[in-house]
């Protein structure tokens, strides 16, 4: 589904990603963990070209993505994204936010776009908030709208950039529940997260990033119960979830 080969990313002189390789197969849930500054978010943002990589290859659905406007737009239509800070469009209602993709990008007519949007809002449990503006919604509700907005494009993969990091602790659960349901239904997901319990429960593959390289990768069992790397051990110790 997605294959990343030898990805390098520099910010000015600073090398943030030092040759990342990763594969995501269809239906897989991949969690990327690591301390802040390890390059997790940058890696995720390189996948859909929100950050331009300096070196390396990104393959999506068996095709090499070139650094051209057309290739990038095609890639983004297949790869959805959910942001840490939600980034809902404040001048549109929840329903209009979710409709926007089908309407403007997929050029569906208003009625079918509305139907699709409503179905996805219902899926994230917010059918009753369809006509509210984002400012009237809680953080958890906003993020669920953000997820519905990504799903409404019916992408092949969804990238999650720390989807619960900006939420009050009591609102984290409702967002994780929606994500778990998506995982169960076979959605391919790449998730940058600090929620170790969640990563352990839903992921098929976990990547531990440290100083711009994949320091360790494996099943949740490998990572959380049999960590090899000292850095990973101390990282898991810090987040208080070592097995």
CB closer to another protein, 32 vs 79: 79
- Least Å from the CB of residue 40 to another protein: 17
| CA–CA distance, 6 with 32 (Å, rounded to integer) | 17
Does 107 participate in binding another protein (rule CB under 8 A)? no
Q: Where are the alpha helices (DSSP H) in 153-208?
A: 169-184, 196-202
- Identify the CA nearest to 164 among candidates 86, 50, 242: 86
Is residue 136 near another protein by the rule CB under 8 A?
A: yes
Nearest distance from C-beta of residue 71 to another protein, angstroms: 12
- Applying CB under 8 A, the span of 31-39, 57-65, 148-156, 193-201 interacting with another protein comes to 148-156
What is the three-state SS of 71-85? HHHHHHHHEEEECCC
At 47 the three-state DSSP class reads helix
* Selected binder of another protein within 133, 154, 194, 222 (CB under 8 A): 133
Residue from 30, 32, 60, 88 binding another protein (CB under 8 A): 88
- Near another protein by CB under 8 A, which window of 1-9, 132-140, 165-173, 199-207? 132-140
Cα dihedral 164, 208, 237, 82 in deg (nearest 10)? 0
111 near another protein, judged by CB under 8 A: no
Strands 188-192 and 157-161: parallel
Q: Is 156:61 a contact under the CB 8 Å cutoff?
A: yes
> Interacting stretch for another protein, rule CB under 8 A, among 18-26, 67-75, 174-182, 195-203?
67-75
Sign of the CA dihedral running 189, 197, 41, 163:
positive
What are the DSSP E strand ranges found in the chain?
2-11, 14-24, 29-33, 55-60, 63-64, 79-82, 157-161, 188-192, 205-210, 213-218
73/239 with CB nearer another protein: 73
Nearest to residue 86, comparing CAs of 145, 153, 172?
145
Q: State the nearest-atom distance from the C-beta of 73 to another protein, in Å.
A: 5
Told to check if 76 binds another protein by CB under 8 A, we report: yes
Nearer to another protein, 12 or 91 (CB): 91
Q: Which of 16, 20, 83, 160 binds another protein (CB under 8 A)?
A: 83
Asked whether the beta carbons of 189 and 183 are under 8 A apart, the reply is: yes
How many residues sit in the footprint of another protein (CB under 8 A)? 28
Binding mask 177-216 for another protein (x = CB under 8 A): ----------------------------------------
Residues lying near another protein in the complex (CB under 8 A) are found at 48, 50, 69, 73-74, 76-77, 80-81, 83, 85, 87-92, 100-101, 104-105, 133-136, 149-150, 153
């Amino acid at each position: 589904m997605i294959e990343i080969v030898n990805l390098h990313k520099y910010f000015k002189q600073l090398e943030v990603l030092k040759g990342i390789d990763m594969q995501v197969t269809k239906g897989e849930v991949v969690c990327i963990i690591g301390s802040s500054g390890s390059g997790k978010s940058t890696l995720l943002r390189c996948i859909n070209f929100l950050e331009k990589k300096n070196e390396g290859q990104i393959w999506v659905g068996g095709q090499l993505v070139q650094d051209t406007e057309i290739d990038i737009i095609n890639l983004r239509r297949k790869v959805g994204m959910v942001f840490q800070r939600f980034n809902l469009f404040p001048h549109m209602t929840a329903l209009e936010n979710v409709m926007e993709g089908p309407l403007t990008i997929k050029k569906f007519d208003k009625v079918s776009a509305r139907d699709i949007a409503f179905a996805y809002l219902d899926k994230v449990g917010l059918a009753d908030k369809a006509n509210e503006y984002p400012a009237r919604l809680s953080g958890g509700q906003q993020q669920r709208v953000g997820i519905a907005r990504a799903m409404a494009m019916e992408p092949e993969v969804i990238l999650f950039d720390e989807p619960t990091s900006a939420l009050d602790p009591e609102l984290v659960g409702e967002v994780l529940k929606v994500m778990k349901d998506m995982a169960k239904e076979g959605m391919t997901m790449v998730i940058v997260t600090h929620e170790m319990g969640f990563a352990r429960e839903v992921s098929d593959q976990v990547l531990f990033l440290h100083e711009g390289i994949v320091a360790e990768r494996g099943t949740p069992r490998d990572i959380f119960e049999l960590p090899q790397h000292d850095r990973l051990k101390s990282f898991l110790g810090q987040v208080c979830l070592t097995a």
